[in-house]
Structures are given as C-alpha cells and as structure tokens.
C-alpha cells in the first residue's frame, strides 16, 4: 500500500480548501455552529458516521474498522479567538474581531484529512476511531464538555492523539517529546483591602496600592528563591486595578494573574506558597487580602511508555530527520483534561516557513501557517491510529 504521507499529499488541495473555508468564518468557543455544520457535511461525504451530542457545537465522528480491536480517539479543537485579523489574504476572516489566530482551522483540516485516509483503509483497521472535533479550547471548557457528553466511553477510548500547529518549527517537521509539554494553568485573584481616605493624609488610611505593589514583587521571589531552579514555574500578573482619582487612596486593589507549572507536586504547593507570601506582606502593611486560587488546567504530559511507539510511527511520516525534539512551553491546553482520563499524546506540527515568518506566535493578528503542513498533519494522525491499532491489538 502507498505510504499515508504520499496519499495525504494527493489530497493537498482539498485540505487547503477546507482550511480556508474554516478560516473565513471563525467562531468563538461554544458558538461554532457554522463550523460544526461544515465538519458534519464533510464527514458525511466521506461516509463517516456522526455520533449524537447533547450540545450544539462540536462534532464526534466514528469509523469502525473491518476488524475488532482497540479504540483510538483523535482530537482537533475548532474554536477561534477574539482577535482582529490583519492578514491581507484571499481567505481573510469575514467576521470582524474574530480570527483563527491559533491554527485551529488547520487542526480541523488535518483531522478531516486523517478521517478520509482512515476511511480508505477501513479494511486494514483493527478497531475503532473516534474523531473529536472539540469546541471551546481557548475557553478551557471544551474538553470537559465533550467528556461530560460521554465521548471517551461506549466504546471506551484506549488512547487519544492530538496536534497543534507551531510556527517556529519548519513545515515538514514534527516536534515530539515524552513527559511535560505544556504547562498547568492556574488563575489567581488577589484583592487587597485597605482603608481609603484622602491622599494628603496617608496616616489616616491603610494604603492598598503600596501593599499591592509589594505583593506583586514578593510573588516573584517565590520563583527565584523558593522553587528549585530546575523546576519551571511562572507567576505573571496580567492586571491591576485600584483607585480613580490621583488624590484619593482607594479602599481596595484587585490583581489578576496566572501561575504555570509542570510538576504536579510543585503545582499543588503553589496556592499555599502564594497565600503565605501574600497574606504576610499584606499583614505587614496592616491591610487584608482575599485570595482566589483556581486550578484551571493540568499540564499536558506525554506518557513515557508511548515514546518509542510514537517516534517510530511519526518517522514514517516525516522521516528520521523530520522528527525533532519538542521544547516544552508554558502555555496551557485542555488536551490535558483527556490525559487525566486516558493515555494521550500531544505533539507539534511544524507550520513555519521563511515566507510566512516564523516569529509570529499564536494569537498574533498576523498569525498564519504554511499550508504545506496540512498533509503532514493528516498523515501523522492517521499513521498513529493505524499503527496503534496494529501494535497494541489484543
């Protein structure tokens, strides 16, 4: 049989067409109605059965192999971002203020390509493939929503694969690593409560702005002084708001931030580290704090025991020279939610090229991909599926 990558390359034009059709009409998380409809239409044209869902956005297709076996899930996220596109291209977003600036349009095209390739090989398939077109990744709610609708059960999923476009990796390459790949995402909100009053009489007030400034700096010492320098951790504050007038010391100041970690033990200790730092600094300045610490997403961690399998399978698509080491990144991905339930592997699909510019990161208004990557993505997802059902057959 012809290698999957060769077959995928013959589908290149239709993959580009799909990706551009999606790119033109981006939709925000949980509002992907048009996108979902397009996905259903294409899947049905391939002869893929669609499973019913309770929610209106998101699509799950199922391909039954000719022979019984394990169940592989493939996941693509389908939502766009509240970003105004600045690319002057024929397939530019037609929706003002909304854009596929994170490559999810490409993820959809790759997964549809994989579906088409797997349908063509149904006779070889030893098991079942579930195609998860997941809404609302950017809102961190989509994976949980699909899981709550039972997509990992009946038949129970044995492994899940997913990919993300990566602009700093050249097209034709795939980056993979076992272990931590993307960070756990936590959200913090700190309200510093002081006592407001006239700016000219600071001694009659308890100044929450000075306390908040000290807290923001103190928090950085958790990273530099408390955590093992070999462990990665980020504490970033994204907003601070306190006061209205120049001469009125406000009652309170609100700070929002994010904490990123890989190591689960380190992560579980972060709320207490922050709470201790924040409450003691506040107390030293006679102010009080209310701290909210929310665990939004666990880290994306690829299992060690699938490392060898993945390397061998992915090398069939991009060759030994095309499979490069992935560097972990502190961004978050709700693919991690699936990995909490079932073994799963996430990898980067190289979409960068000199002509596109490899420095424009995710969420940039001029983010774009080299569409030459699409066949590699489709081939990688279908190759992993085919090989897994073969290698791990009972």
Residues found near another protein in the complex (CB under 8 A): 183, 185, 187-189, 195-202, 204-205, 207, 209-210, 212-214, 216-217, 220, 234, 236-251, 253, 256-258, 260, 329-332, 361-363
Supply the minimum distance, in Å, between the C-beta of residue 187 and another protein: 5
Q: Give the Cα separation of 390 and 394 in Å (integer).
A: 9
Q: Judging by DSSP bridges, how do beta strands 248-249 and 344-352 pair with one another?
A: unpaired
Strand partners, 300: 182
Nearer to another protein, 119 or 209 (CB): 209
User: By the 8 A CB rule, do 373 and 5 touch?
Assistant: no
| Six token digits for residue 340 | 């909490």
Nearest to 277 by CA among 195, 192, 185, 194: 192
Nearer to another protein, 9 or 363 (CB): 363
Place of tokens 């693919």: 335
Supply the minimum distance, in Å, between the C-beta of residue 246 and another protein: 4
Nearest to 375 by CA among 6, 8, 2: 8
Nearer to another protein, 99 or 132 (CB): 99
Supply the minimum distance, in Å, between the C-beta of residue 108 and another protein: 23
Q: Is 64 helix (H, G, I), strand (E, B) or coil?
A: strand
Q: Give the Cα separation of 296 and 311 in Å (integer).
A: 30
Nearer to another protein, 250 or 350 (CB): 250
Nearer to another protein, 141 or 322 (CB): 141
Q: Give the Cα separation of 109 and 183 in Å (integer).
A: 26
Supply the minimum distance, in Å, between the C-beta of residue 9 and another protein: 34
- Torsions phi, psi for 46 (to 5 deg): -85, -10
Count of C-beta atoms within a 10 Å radius of residue 232: 19
Nearer to another protein, 10 or 221 (CB): 221
Nearer to another protein, 119 or 214 (CB): 214
Supply the minimum distance, in Å, between the C-beta of residue 195 and another protein: 8
Supply the minimum distance, in Å, between the C-beta of residue 141 and another protein: 15
Supply the minimum distance, in Å, between the C-beta of residue 184 and another protein: 10
Supply the minimum distance, in Å, between the C-beta of residue 241 and another protein: 5
| Six token digits for residue 37 | 């409809």
Supply the minimum distance, in Å, between the C-beta of residue 304 and another protein: 24
Nearer to another protein, 234 or 283 (CB): 234
Q: Please report how the helices 374-391 and 12-24 are oriented relative to each other, as an axis angle in degrees rounded to 10.
A: 110
Q: Return the H-helix or E-strand segment holding 96.
A: none
Nearer to another protein, 131 or 255 (CB): 255
| Six token digits for residue 246 | 């120049």
Supply the minimum distance, in Å, between the C-beta of residue 163 and another protein: 19
Q: Give the Cα separation of 255 and 213 in Å (integer).
A: 10
63: left (phi over 0), alpha (psi -120 to 50) or beta: beta
> What DSSP designation does 327 have?
P
User: By the 8 A CB rule, do 34 and 137 touch?
Assistant: no
Nearer to another protein, 165 or 383 (CB): 165
């Amino acid at each position: 049989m012809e290698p999957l990558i060769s077959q995928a390359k013959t589908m290149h034009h239709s993959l580009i067409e799909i990706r551009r059709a999606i790119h033109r009409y981006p939709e925000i998380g949980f509002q992907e109605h048009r996108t979902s409809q397009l996905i259903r239409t294409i899947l049905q044209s391939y002869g893929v059965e669609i499973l019913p869902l309770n929610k209106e956005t998101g699509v799950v297709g199922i391909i039954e192999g000719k022979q019984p076996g394990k169940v592989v899930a493939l996941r693509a996220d389908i939502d766009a971002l509240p970003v105004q596109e600045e690319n002057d291209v024929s397939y530019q977003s037609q929706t003002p203020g909304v854009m596929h600036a994170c490559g999810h349009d490409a993820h959809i095209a790759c997964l549809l390509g994989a579906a088409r390739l797997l349908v063509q090989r149904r006779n070889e398939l030893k098991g079942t493939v579930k195609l998860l077109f997941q809404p609302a990744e950017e809102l961190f709610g989509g994976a949980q929503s699909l899981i709550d609708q039972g997509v990992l059960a009946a038949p129970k999923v044995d492994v899940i694969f997913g990919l993300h476009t990566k602009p700093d990796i050249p097209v034709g390459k795939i980056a993979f690593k076992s272990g931590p790949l993307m960070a756990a995402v936590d959200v913090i909100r700190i309200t510093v409560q002081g006592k407001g009053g006239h700016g000219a009489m600071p001694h009659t007030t308890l100044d929450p702005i000075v306390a908040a400034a000290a807290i923001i700096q103190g928090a950085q010492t958790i990273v530099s002084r408390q955590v093992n320098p070999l462990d990665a951790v980020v504490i970033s504050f994204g907003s601070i708001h306190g006061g209205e007038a120049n001469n009125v010391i406000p009652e309170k100041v609100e700070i929002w931030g994010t904490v990123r970690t890989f190591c689960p033990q380190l992560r579980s200790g972060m709320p207490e580290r922050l709470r201790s730092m924040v409450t003691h600094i506040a107390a030293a300045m006679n102010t009080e704090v209310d701290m909210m610490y929310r665990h939004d997403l666990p880290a994306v961690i690829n299992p060690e025991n699938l490392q060898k399998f993945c390397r061998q399978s992915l090398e069939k698509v991009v060759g030994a020279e095309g499979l490069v080491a992935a560097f972990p990144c502190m961004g978050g991905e709700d693919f991690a939610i699936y990995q909490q339930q079932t073994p799963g592997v996430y990898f980067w699909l190289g979409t960068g090229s000199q002509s596109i510019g490899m420095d424009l990161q995710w969420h940039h208004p001029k983010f774009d991909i080299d569409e030459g990557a699409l066949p590699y993505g489709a081939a990688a997802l279908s190759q992993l599926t085919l090989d897994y059902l073969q290698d791990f057959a009972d």
